[in-house]
Amino acid sequence: MNIVLTGFMATGKSEVGKELARLLEMEFVDTDDLIEEKSEMKIPEIFAKKGEKYFRDVESQIAKEVGSYDNYVIATGGGIVLRQENIKALKKNGKIINLTTSVEKILCRVSKSFGRPLLNVKDKKAEIEKLLAERKPYYKKCDFSFDTTETTSVEAAKKIIKKLEWIGNMQSRIWRLCRL
């Protein structure tokens, strides 16, 4: 089984993912890295030269590939959930966890980084709010959500593990009850 982390940009998917992989002794992969490898370009360059549709098409190819992995923690780009085929591929052998954080925390984190092509706008806060609203129904298709606003990546990883253990125990109990 895989653990798939999704959520809006700057919610901590890569950092939490690395901690989960370390704690659970699983492999870690970031789909953005795989997209860059496959395209032989950095993500901002892909958006600038090829456009968002090309990026999403490559992202879908990568989702299908990593969906067949086993025993991986997979950090995805925030828009991977925009295509149903990606959700289906990732759920085939994994639990999808939506990481969330406050708009203010996202703003703070993205101001310290470069390479956010979807935020190449004047009013970043308004754009973040707009994109979050558009993506909300897609993020609801995840198995559960976890708020990273007030946690470190280590704390978040430990709490996610507890939640996954609880879900696993509940599924096991339900399965046993159904067999009675």
Domain that holds residue 104: 2-178
Say which range, 109-118, 145-154, 162-171, has the weakest mean pLDDT. Answer: 109-118
User: Which tens digits make up the pLDDT trace of 58-102?
Assistant: 999 999 999 999 999 999 999 999 999 999 999 999 999 999 999
**Which of 34, 116, 20, 119 is CA-nearest to residue 73?**
20
**pTM (2 decimals)?**
0.89
CATH code of residue 16: 3.40.50.300
Distance CA 49, CA 46 (A): 5
Please compute the mean of the pLDDT values over residues 125-153 and round it to a whole number.
Answer: 94
Supply the pLDDT for residue 30.
Answer: 98
- The pLDDT > 70 percentage for the chain reads 88
Tally of structural domains, the chain: 1
Return the SS3 of 170: helix
The confidence score (pLDDT) of residue 115 equals 63
Confidence band, pLDDT 50/70/90 cuts, at residue 111: confident
- pLDDT for 172 beyond 80: no
Most confident stretch, 31-35, 113-117, 173-177 = 31-35
Helices (H), the chain: 13-24, 31-39, 43-49, 52-67, 84-91, 103-111, 124-139, 153-179
Read off the pLDDT of residues 18-41 as tens digits, 9 standing for 90 and up: 999 999 999 999 999 999 999 999
